[in-house]
Amino acid sequence: MSEKLTLTNSDRLYKEAWELIPGAVAGIRRPYNFVPGEYPIYLTSAKGGRIIDVDGNEYIDMLCAYGPIIVGHREEEIDNAVIKQIQEKGFCMSLVQEAQNELAQKLIDIIPCCEKAFFMKTGSDATTAAIRVARGYTDRTKILRSGYHGWHDWCVEVKGGIPEKFYEDVFEFKYNDLEGAEKLFKQHGSDLAAVIITPFGHPLGYAVQYPKPGFLEGLKELCEKNGTVLIFDEIRTGFRLSLGGAQELFNVTPDLAVFGKAIANGYPLSVVVGKKEIMNVLEQKVFISSTFFPNSLDQVAALANINFLEKYKVLDVIAKRGKIFGKKIEKILQDCGIPCSFSGAPWMPFITFDKDDQGLYKKRRKAFYTEIIRRKVFLQPYHHGYIAFRHTDEDMDYVANMIAESLEAVKKQI
């Protein structure tokens, strides 16, 4: 087993935070979502494709802040556009600034379903707004969902503090299970306002999945026959699988879609986009408002980011690098003799361990992610990784080699 990292300052700050913040840190960033005692809890800086923790350990960042970092940390062209906006114009005003119109037009130009756009801040903002828009447009109540869609009452996995009536009209089906969706349509079709789905399957803790032939097309057909709004949750796939999202890549256009994460390379921005006739319920019938939704900084960042993606053909570079990386990892896993799987290439690499009756997969998972963090590769046991533009070929080769070393260490331990 490799040597444990020094995490003295992380541990000190974590202990201090327990007296200040419920749970010390929020949600999925809590230590039990990694390997407690092995991963840092506090970071101090980031640049390009790397992060540094408060104890001075430097890692190749393969989690990319759970997806927003598409180019790299502290990307000058993007940050400088934001700094210029702060210094020359300001960003928090009683009315909107023209960056709103410019960004909306940009999205209309590149996203297949986008005829109008409505800007917000987080993925959960956008998915919940899309559900409200669909219900307002159809005058129906029930929702079908597949995938993770945020922390709001209608969709959050942990039900503490939420009355059942807030989610009793939401029904779940598994990704790639068109038959399961058809059954739910037969039961609830006349009152189904929307189907919301992640068009590229990335269930928590499980292998990443491509859509089976006809799956997305079948969902669209079901929605069209039943007058139901089809919503693609492109929070993770947007500006990563292609500029126009998974809908462009898979050539299936939904009625509405939500984008976030990589749209602004780390700045907090999300957007609901879709057909005019549906989006127009936001004019009067459906009310959504926030003091901070119109702030221009994140819109300026998104414009600079999208321009950067186009200028440097960023998504082509990432896809090429991801394909090469994926082939290396598949070969490593074939040779290692451990029951595990690789998925998500070329955009969302993920190593999962095959379940067994004895529960050895849990021990292998813990051991592997312990070994990989000790080798300064930052990944997460229950969440796929990402590849950023600023990850170099040398970075990817190092990560592949460290995965091989870590699997060898697991084989010796278990």
- Parse the chain into domains and list their residue ranges: 8-73+313-413, 76-311
| Residues 345-357 pLDDT 10s | 999 999 999 999 9
Contact between 245 and 234 (Cβ < 8 Å) = yes
Helix axes 76-88, 296-311, angle to 10 degrees: 150
Class of domain 8-73+313-413: alpha beta
Residues 321, 388: Cα–Cα separation, whole Å: 10
Cα distances (angstroms) measured from residue 18 to each of 87, 273, 388: 37, 40, 33
Rg of the chain (C-alpha set): 22
Give the integer Cα–Cα distance in Å for 300 and 321. Answer: 28
Query: How is residue 132 written in tokens?
Result: 């409200």
Task: Phi first, then psi: give them for residue 337, nearest 5 degrees.
Answer: 80, 15
Work out whether the CA dihedral 232, 190, 139, 278 comes out positive or negative: positive
pLDDT in tens, 269-328: 999 999 999 999 999 999 999 999 999 999 999 999 999 999 999 999 999 999 999 999
Query: Does residue 1 carry a pLDDT above 80?
Result: no
Residue 374 CA: distances (Å) to CA of 12, 94, 116, 381, 390: 19, 49, 47, 14, 22
The average pLDDT across 5-9 equals 98
Over residues 112-131, mean pLDDT: 98
Could you give the CA distance from residue 296 to residue 99 in angstroms, rounded to a whole number? Answer: 6
Helices 360-374 and 393-413 cross at an angle (nearest 10°) of 140
Q: What is the pLDDT of residue 363?
A: 97
Q: Give residue-wise pLDDT tens across range 81-99.
A: 999 999 999 999 999 999 9
CA–CA separation, 164 and 241 (whole Å): 36
Query: pTM score > 0.95 for this model?
Result: yes
- In terms of CATH architecture, what is 76-311? 3-Layer(aba) Sandwich (3.40)
Average pLDDT in the chain? 97
Beta bridge partners of 380: 383
189 band by pLDDT with thresholds 50, 70 and 90? confident
Q: Which amino acid is at 234?
A: E
Q: What is the dihedral of CA 219, 133, 171, 126, to 10 degrees?
A: 90
pLDDT band at 66 (very low <50, low <70, confident <90, very high): very high
